[in-house]
């Protein structure tokens, strides 16, 4: 199975994103956590930063919107040049319409599910999405512990995907001790913040994570 490693710049230097992205050439995409202090109790950056990142990054951007009213804002991130725009099911009034608007603006559309949210309503319309993000921590902060009890949910999503080109992403607490567990449950796209940018050699950390997810 294809394995994608996506370092999260939530754990990078907020005054040196371009330099930190240049340190991770082995990454598949760069994960950009947009937080609005409403949907989650933390504030990061928004559209102007993502627009500029799209210009300077040699790697495609995977934007994870932890914001209220993604129906209004998500298509703008696709227009900014993101490869994938993922919004939270809990925040969206019309998830299918929003996913279609993201695709119409030229990006892949993802839907994210918090640990306590039932994923099954979204699996019946799985063809509307290009990525399902199963959060393995409560969204909002890096450096939290991986919730292994969510692997049943990951297995259920994997079964629903079948042979469709839908990426199954996990985000939160992914590192050398947990990535194989998530891979065995069926995840193929792994976000890692502190386990990459918290290391002295972030690119070597990516290569190590890739090996652990593949074996």
Catalytic residue annotation: 33, 171
Three-state DSSP class for residue 85: strand
140 annotated as belonging to a binding site for a ligand = yes
- Shortest Cβ 139–Zn ion spacing (Å): 7
Burial class (CB in 10 A: 0-12, 13-18, 19+), 115: middle
The option from ligand DX5, Zn ion, none interacting with 26 (CB < 5 to 8 A, set by class) reads none
186 annotated as belonging to a binding site for a ligand = no
143 annotated as belonging to a binding site for a ligand = yes
70 versus 173: smaller Cβ distance to ligand DX5:
173
Specify the residue for token string 């040196």.
Answer: 16
The option from Zn ion, ligand DX5, none interacting with 173 (CB < 5 to 8 A, set by class) reads ligand DX5
Per-residue buried b or exposed e for 131-156, using 16+ beta carbons within 10 Å of the residue's own CB: bbbbbbbebbebeeebbeebbebbeb
Using CB under 5 A as the binding rule, whether residue 171 contacts Zn ion is answered as yes
String marking each residue 92-121 x if it binds Zn ion according to CB under 5 A: ------------------------------
- Shortest Cβ 151–ligand DX5 spacing (Å): 16
Of 142, 137, 126, 140, the closest CA to residue 170 belongs to 137
Helices 95-104 + 70-79 axis angle, to 10:
20
Binding footprint of ligand DX5 on the chain (CB under 6 A): 8, 10-11, 31, 33, 64, 137, 139-144, 171-174, 191-195
114 versus 158: smaller Cβ distance to ligand DX5:
114
Instruction: Kindly give, in sequence order, each residue whose CB lies less than 8 Å from that of residue 156, ignoring residues fewer than 6 positions away.
Output: 119, 120, 123
Number of residue whose CB is nearest ligand DX5: 193
Structure tokens at 165: 């080109």
Using CB under 5 A as the binding rule, whether residue 6 contacts Zn ion is answered as no
95 versus 172: smaller Cβ distance to ligand DX5:
172
75 versus 193: smaller Cβ distance to ligand DX5:
193
Structure tokens at 150: 């969510």
Helices 70-79 + 47-56 axis angle, to 10:
20
Structure tokens at 104: 């119409």
- Shortest Cβ 28–ligand DX5 spacing (Å): 15
Using CB under 5 A as the binding rule, whether residue 64 contacts Zn ion is answered as yes
List the binding residues for a divalent metal cation: 31, 33, 64, 171
């Amino acid at each position: 199975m294809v394995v994608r490693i996506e370092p999260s710049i939530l754990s990078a230097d907020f005054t040196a994103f371009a330099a930190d992205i240049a340190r991770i050439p082995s990454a598949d995409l760069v994960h950009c956590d947009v937080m609005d202090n409403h949907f989650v109790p933390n504030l990061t950056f928004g559209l102007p930063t993502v627009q500029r990142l799209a210009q300077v990054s040699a790697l495609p951007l995977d934007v994870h919107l932890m914001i209220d009213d993604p129906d209004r804002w998500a298509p703008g991130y696709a227009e900014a040049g993101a490869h994938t725009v993922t919004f939270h099911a809990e925040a969206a009034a019309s998830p299918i319409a929003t996913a279609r608007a993201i695709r119409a603006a030229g990006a892949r559309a993802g839907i994210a599910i918090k640990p306590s949210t039932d994923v099954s309503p979204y699996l019946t319309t799985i063809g509307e999405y290009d990525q399902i993000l199963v959060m393995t921590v409560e969204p909002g902060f890096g450096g939290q512990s991986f919730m292994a009890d969510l692997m049943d949910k990951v297995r259920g999503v994997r079964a629903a995907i079948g042979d469709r080109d839908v990426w199954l992403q996990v985000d939160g607490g992914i590192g050398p001790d947990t990535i194989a567990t998530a891979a065995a449950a069926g995840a193929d796209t792994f976000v890692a913040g502190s386990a990459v940018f918290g290391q002295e050699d972030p690119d070597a950390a990516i290569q190590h994570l890739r090996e652990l997810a593949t074996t």
